[in-house]
Amino acid sequence: MGQAGCKGLYQSLLDYKTEKYVIAKNKKVGLLYRLLQVSILTYLVVWVFLVKKCYQDTDSSLQSSIVTKVKGVTFTNTSELGERLWDVADYVIPPQGENVFFVITNLVVTPNQRQETCAESESIPDALCCEDSDCPPGEPVVAGNGVRTGRCLRAGSEQKGTCEIFAWCPVETKSRPAKPLLGEAEDFTVYIKNFIRFPKFNFSKTNVLDTTDRAFLKSCKYGPKDPYCPIFRLGSVVSWTGSNFQEIAVQGGVIGIQIEWDCDLDRAPSECYPRYYFNRLDNRFSENSLSSGYNFRFAKYYRDAAGVEFRTLFKAYGIRFDVMVNGKAGKFNIIPTIINVGSGVALMGVGSFFCDLVLIYFIKKSHFYRDKKYEEVRPGRQGNGKVNVEQLQNLQTVEA
């Protein structure tokens, strides 16, 4: 770089640049510019501040606790269990009332099981055999009920049989009843008590209506006419998911109860209340689907007069209810307000940039406006060798 180049670079560092504003008397571009300003201002006021409430500081780290309590009784009379009254201690699992609870609606009962030898179920593929060598002793039956003893048991002159096993005998062989045992559970109720807290704002709330009327919870049920009551009829919960209670009670299912809290803490605390949403979570689209339904097994153990242990095995079908809680809270804060106002002001510059493009590139006399906006100035030289730049007006009005 020569001496002249270095001198020019040095002088350019001391230059001062100022904008030149050109007022274009073009009604179409002016109208477009005002429409863009109004649109940006409407977006800022309506969407950013009124709908999204971006002037608030938010807290989505919700702390929540769920307590559930099911109520209802029913009576059954079956060959396995005889006459029996079912109350909440019999059909609700677990009994302590958590955010997940299960209500039994159907049962397969295998009574009087004892630890002894018997034939494995024919429905177990790994238990099928033709001779004793197919039943190596001491090996458990895959997906079966017990351990092989080394004998192949065949009925009469049949060529194939099943392995003898040491297990809780007799093994379960009955199929699921076509009609639910506890179909009347449709009228049972569940009381869902939800405690929440937003730690950032130290704000706590519960979904139970703040009232001094002690009879309120004894007489109310959740519904369109009473949205603040936390007591739900099980049949109604299932129907709100688009399912039929008597159908789902046969093979079981999974129901999701979603509690949503959206609290505006700039308002009174009484205006912060939950909204409930109900969905079926298991596969309900095919009655024969292996993924639909819900069941598990449990047993009750006893001892006879001789002190020998025996049990009654239950395969329970029913409805599992998952209570899930989400929410957020917002409160006015000056920092997000300033940030969003600044963003809105910056968007105004986008309107100017877009109108500039239209003015100098897309209208008929764009070359005229382009020449006025971008003016080329050539410096002259005086006798002392210094550059003399003609003074320009900072504001110029141009009429096409």
pLDDT in tens, 280-313: 998 765 555 666 789 999 999 999 999 999 999 9
Share of residues in the chain with pLDDT > 70 (%): 86
The DSSP string of 142-210 is TTSSSEEEEEEE--TT-S-EEEEEEEEESPP-PPPPSS-TTGGGGG-EEEEEEEEEETTTTEEEESS--
315 in a labelled binding site: yes
Q: Does residue 2 register a pLDDT over 70?
A: no
Q: Dig out the tokens for 347 from the structure.
A: 């968007």
Q: Does residue 95 register a pLDDT over 90?
A: no
User: Is 111 in contact with 314 (CB distance < 8 Å)?
Assistant: no
Share of residues in the chain with pLDDT > 90 (%): 60
What's the average model confidence in pLDDT over 258-275?
92
User: Is 320 in contact with 253 (CB distance < 8 Å)?
Assistant: yes
Q: Dig out the tokens for 89 from the structure.
A: 């201690």
Using CA atoms, how far apart are residues 161 and 131, in angstroms rounded to an integer? 8
Q: Does residue 316 register a pLDDT over 60?
A: yes
7 in a labelled binding site: no
What's the average model confidence in pLDDT over 111-119?
96
Q: Dig out the tokens for 129 from the structure.
A: 């055999």
- Geometric angle at alpha carbon 145, from 141 and 148, rounded to 5°: 45
* pLDDT for residue 163: 97
Read off the pTM. Answer: 0.78
User: Is 244 in contact with 287 (CB distance < 8 Å)?
Assistant: no
Q: Does residue 126 register a pLDDT over 60?
A: yes
189 in a labelled binding site: yes
Task: Show Cβ contacts of residue 232 under 8 Å, excluding neighbours closer than 6 positions.
Answer: 189, 190, 192, 221, 222, 257
Looking at residue 99, what DSSP letter applies?
S
Of 225 and 160, the structure prediction assigns the larger pLDDT to 160
Q: Does residue 138 register a pLDDT over 60?
A: yes
What's the average model confidence in pLDDT over 265-277?
91
Amino acid sitting at position 72: G
Task: Show Cβ contacts of residue 193 under 8 Å, excluding neighbours closer than 6 positions.
Answer: 66, 67, 68, 69, 206, 207, 208, 230
What's the average model confidence in pLDDT over 303-326?
95
Of 14 and 99, the structure prediction assigns the larger pLDDT to 99
295 in a labelled binding site: yes
Using CA atoms, how far apart are residues 70 and 318, in angstroms rounded to an integer? 14
What's the average model confidence in pLDDT over 374-395?
49
267 in a labelled binding site: no
**Which band of pLDDT confidence, cut at 50, 70 and 90, is reported for residue 350?**
confident
* Helices (H), ranges, the chain: 3-12, 27-42, 88-91, 216-219, 234-240, 245-251, 334-357, 366-373
70 in a labelled binding site: yes
Q: Does residue 390 register a pLDDT over 90?
A: no
Q: Please state, rounded to an integer, the average pLDDT across all residues of the chain.
A: 86
296 in a labelled binding site: yes
* pLDDT for residue 160: 93
Q: Dig out the tokens for 308 from the structure.
A: 């020998």
**Which band of pLDDT confidence, cut at 50, 70 and 90, is reported for residue 131?**
very high
Task: Show Cβ contacts of residue 298 under 8 Å, excluding neighbours closer than 6 positions.
Answer: 93, 314, 316
Looking at residue 270, what DSSP letter applies?
G
